[in-house]
């Protein structure tokens, strides 16, 4: 594997990166990713406004009508970089590949967590502050259907959230929970003398992947810096996300690429930087609901 400045990940590393992200990001676990055009792309939600109409013999037909709503998905660039000793440049090819695989593994974890934080809360993962680049394109802003969490009866909270979505003619394909909410569900038991767990699959912090036939994931990115405890909705059709085509890895030998004030050559270092272009769109906000901690009185 030849290494040079502005070298793209080899296909196997790109595949490995995406696989690792899927294993660590709740969004990637519940929603299938699709390629996003580098320059952005326009998606359309196509809705037939009325039901079918019965037409009597020799009777007249009436208009059903359709509604088309456009949604533009524009990729956002994210990056992660790290300094390593310039001995990396003189290492054997096998050792270089091992270093890149380790960097790839670490980057996948950061990318997975960052993907959730951006989509759930619209924040810059590094600063934890609202991102002007993301704007309102995140679930906390778009999803206005909320259920206040009640201690001791989280199951009812889920039922209420499902009812909200179904009442808006949406469907529920998955749920992402904070560990605290999962723990509340795990503690629920039958009211009779048997005292049997209602959700034994959640005992001891387990992440079973589905509960009562609903696809689920447990991740603390749901609540990071917010009052969210769980997000339910149509992650199959009501939401889209994906990578733009190129996932470059750059090996920088000169300068101060991370603006730390330390010249690479002066400290015998090189800089590894990965950049990824991610895009997403919330196709139907009414197909989602959030379970939240109630506001303090």
Residue 5 has pLDDT above 60, yes or no: no
Q: How far is CA 294 from its chain centroid?
A: 24
Distance CA 116, CA 239 (A): 13
Residue 165 is predicted with a pLDDT of: 96
State the average pLDDT over residues 245-259: 84
Q: How far is CA 234 from its chain centroid?
A: 13
Residue 88 is predicted with a pLDDT of: 80
Percent of the chain residues past pLDDT 90, beyond the cut? 51
State the average pLDDT over residues 122-151: 95
CATH tag, 7-44+72-178+208-292: 3.90.1690
107 membership: H or E segment, kind and range:
helix 93-121
State the average pLDDT over residues 38-61: 64
The residue extents of the domains of the chain are 7-44+72-178+208-292
Residue 21 is predicted with a pLDDT of: 79
288 membership: H or E segment, kind and range:
strand 288-292
- Residue 205 phi, psi (nearest 5): 75, 20
**Radius of gyration (C-alpha) of the chain in whole angstroms:** 23
Residue 168 has pLDDT above 70, yes or no: yes
Convert the pLDDT of each residue in 76-90 to its tens digit: 899 999 898 888 888
Residue 52 is predicted with a pLDDT of: 67
Residue 114 is predicted with a pLDDT of: 94
């Amino acid at each position: 594997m030849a290494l040079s400045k502005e070298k793209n990940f080899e296909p196997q590393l790109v595949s490995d990166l995406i696989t690792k992200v899927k294993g660590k990001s709740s969004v990637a676990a519940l929603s299938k990713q699709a390629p996003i055009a580098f320059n952005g792309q326009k998606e359309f939600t196509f809705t037939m406004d009325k039901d079918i109409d019965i037409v009597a013999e020799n009777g007249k037909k009436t208009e059903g009508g359709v509604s088309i709503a456009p949604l533009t998905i524009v990729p956002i660039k994210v990056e992660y970089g790290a300094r390593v000793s310039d001995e990396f440049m003189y290492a054997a090819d096998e050792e270089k590949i091992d270093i890149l695989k380790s960097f790839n593994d670490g980057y996948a974890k950061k990318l997975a967590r960052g993907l959730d934080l951006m989509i759930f809360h619209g924040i810059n993962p590094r600063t934890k502050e609202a991102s002007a680049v993301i704007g309102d394109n995140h679930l906390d802003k778009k999803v206005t259907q909320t259920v206040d969490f009640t201690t001791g009866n989280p199951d009812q909270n889920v039922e209420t959230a499902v009812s909200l979505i179904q009442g808006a003619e949406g469907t529920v394909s998955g749920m992402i929970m904070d560990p605290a909410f999962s723990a509340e569900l795990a503690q629920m038991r039958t009211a009779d003398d048997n005292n049997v767990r209602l959700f034994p699959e959640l005992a001891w912090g387990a992440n079973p992947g589905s509960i009562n036939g609903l696809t689920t994931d447990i991740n603390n990115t749901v609540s990071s810096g917010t009052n969210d405890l769980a997000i339910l909705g149509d992650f199959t059709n009501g939401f889209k996300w994906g990578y733009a085509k190129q996932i470059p890895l750059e090996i920088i030998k000169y300068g101060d690429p991370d603006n730390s004030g330390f010249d690479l050559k002066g400290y015998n270092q090189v800089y590894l930087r990965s950049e990824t272009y991610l895009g997403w769109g919330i196709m139907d906000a009414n197909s989602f609901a959030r379970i939240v901690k109630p506001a303090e009185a």
